[in-house]
């Protein structure tokens, strides 16, 4: 078996094993914790809803201003106003997607399962480019360029208008990668990329490394146990960027200096979110944890949602929201982890972290229901 086939096979195994561990109902798997009684302190109202095709990991939605870009697993793209639900346009690529969606509010980029990077604007394909390897990470569309992170740890920059390749940088590492979205984002004039267990800042003009910080270190006795990729979903407040290494640790970094501020052991597989004072994460068993953003001390832990297959939590505008695999959306008290409100959206399960827009939250389910809610 070729190396390429082996790392994809093992990546699929690792991701599937994790999902089964969180969600399976087989006898040797934990039963999801029943939802307990609570004192409702927020009233949740539905603002609008729409439908897109079935959504599965590692697809994500992206908000740019008021424009929310959506993509379904079967290649249906849509640009929606997050305030009103009005659809600017939708376009069917008629092909399965492996990653997406990235947008700058104008262009939308996704990656197909046949390894094509496709960029669309105004319901028209602008260009397509064949990639050298699989990708599970949504493209970053910014500064007139489209950046891609492939599964062989290659970072590639393309011209956003033409699709011309501008530069490419590859990092060697372990043979295996996760079959889930990694880190590809920005901080000021830096391209931030998760490469193996490191957060790397690159010059977006040429891909040259400016600094790198270790987030997670390899451990274990076999290839699967040594898997140490960074996972999508970082928290940025001022110059502090916090990220998670798969099943290893959570780390906060000074992105101005490229230095590690603190690291805490953490057995999670979804990204983190935060506020000025705290960082929030979900362990793989569904335990919610809040850390002091300045020093990493644990502020609180909640086991109320254990084994319910949680999304990454999302914090915005004083609210903390998390979805689960049984289709419930939970508003938690950011100060102590107590439940403030909850609503079941769709029994198919919440597909990705809820997307905040002010006090409005847009949630996407696995069946493709897109719904905006507000809690007051």
What whole-number distance in Å separates Cα of residue 302 and Cα of residue 320?
13
Residue 260 has pLDDT above 90, yes or no: yes
Predicted structure pTM score: 0.90
Residue 217 has pLDDT above 60, yes or no: yes
pLDDT at residue 72, as a whole number = 97
Query: Domain for residue 352, yes or no?
Result: yes
Looking at every residue in the chain, the average pLDDT score rounds to 90
Query: Domain for residue 153, yes or no?
Result: no
CATH number, position 299: 2.130.10.10
**Pick the residue with more confidence: 3 or 173?**
173
User: What residue numbers bound the domain in which 344 lies?
Assistant: 32-55+269-376
What digits encode the pLDDT tens for the residues 354-375? 999 988 999 999 999 999 999 9
What whole-number distance in Å separates Cα of residue 251 and Cα of residue 260?
7
Structural tokens at position 189: 């004039």
pLDDT at residue 173, as a whole number = 62
Beta bridge partners of 185: 192
pLDDT at residue 103, as a whole number = 96
Query: Domain for residue 306, yes or no?
Result: yes
Query: Domain for residue 365, yes or no?
Result: yes
Query: Domain for residue 350, yes or no?
Result: yes
pLDDT at residue 222, as a whole number = 66
Residue 125, burial from CB neighbour count under 10 angstroms (0-12, 13-18, 19+): exposed
Query: Domain for residue 82, yes or no?
Result: no
Rounded percentage of the chain residues whose pLDDT exceeds 70: 89
The predicted model gives 77-103 an average pLDDT of 96
Query: Domain for residue 256, yes or no?
Result: no
pLDDT at residue 179, as a whole number = 87
What digits encode the pLDDT tens for the residues 172-203? 766 677 789 999 999 999 999 999 899 999 99
Query: Domain for residue 299, yes or no?
Result: yes
Domain count within the chain: 1
Residue 238 has pLDDT above 70, yes or no: yes
The predicted model gives 234-262 an average pLDDT of 96
Residue 13 has pLDDT above 50, yes or no: no
pLDDT at residue 24, as a whole number = 36
What digits encode the pLDDT tens for the residues 20-54? 333 333 446 799 999 999 999 999 999 999 999 99
Rounded percentage of the chain residues whose pLDDT exceeds 90: 84
Confidence of residue 346 (pLDDT cuts 50, 70, 90): very high
Q: Which of 27-31, 217-221, 324-328 has the highest mean pLDDT?
A: 324-328
Residue 220 has pLDDT above 50, yes or no: yes
Confidence of residue 246 (pLDDT cuts 50, 70, 90): very high
pLDDT at residue 310, as a whole number = 98
Residue 2 has pLDDT above 50, yes or no: no
Structural tokens at position 119: 């960029």
Between 23-32, 107-116, 248-257, the lowest mean confidence (pLDDT) is in 23-32
């Amino acid at each position: 078996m070729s190396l390429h086939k082996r790392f994809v096979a093992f990546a699929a195994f690792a991701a599937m094993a994790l999902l089964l561990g969180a969600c399976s109902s087989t006898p040797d798997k934990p039963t999801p914790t029943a939802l307990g009684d609570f004192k409702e302190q927020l009233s949740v109202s539905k603002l609008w809803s729409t439908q897109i095709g079935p959504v599965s990991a590692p697809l994500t939605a992206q908000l740019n201003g008021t424009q929310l870009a959506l993509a379904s697993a079967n290649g249906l793209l849509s640009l929606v106003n997050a305030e009103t639900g009005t659809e600017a346009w939708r376009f069917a690529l008629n092909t399965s997607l492996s990653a997406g969606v990235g947008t700058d509010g104008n262009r939308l980029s996704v990656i197909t399962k046949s390894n094509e990077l496709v960029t669309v604007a105004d319901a028209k394909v602008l260009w397509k480019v064949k990639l050298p390897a699989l990708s599970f990470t949504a493209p970053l569309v910014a500064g007139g360029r489209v950046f891609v992170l492939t599964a062989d740890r290659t970072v590639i920059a393309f011209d956003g208008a033409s699709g011309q390749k501008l530069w490419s940088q590859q990092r060697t590492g372990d043979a295996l990668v996760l079959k889930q979205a990694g880190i590809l984002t920005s901080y000021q004039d830096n391209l931030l990329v998760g490469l193996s267990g490191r957060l790397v800042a690159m010059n977006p003009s040429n891909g040259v490394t400016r600094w790198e910080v270790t987030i997670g270190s390899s451990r274990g006795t076999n290839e699967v146990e040594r898997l140490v990729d960074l996972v999508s979903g970082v928290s940025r407040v001022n110059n502090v960027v916090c990220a998670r290494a798969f099943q290893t640790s959570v780390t906060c970094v000074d992105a101005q200096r490229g230095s590690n501020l603190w690291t805490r052991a953490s057995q999670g597989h979804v990204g983190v979110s935060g506020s000025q004072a705290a960082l929030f994460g979900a362990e793989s068993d569904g335990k919610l944890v809040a850390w002091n953003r300045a020093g990493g001390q644990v502020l609180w832990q909640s086991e109320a949602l254990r084994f319910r297959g949680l999304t990454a939590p999302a914090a915005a505008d004083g609210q903390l929201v998390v979805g689960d695999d049984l289709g419930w959306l939970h508003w938690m008290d950011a100060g102590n982890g107590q439940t403030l409100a909850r609503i079941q959206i769709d029994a198919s399960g919440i597909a990705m972290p809820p997307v905040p827009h002010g006090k409005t939250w847009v949630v996407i389910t696995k069946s493709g229901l897109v719904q905006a809610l507000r809690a007051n």
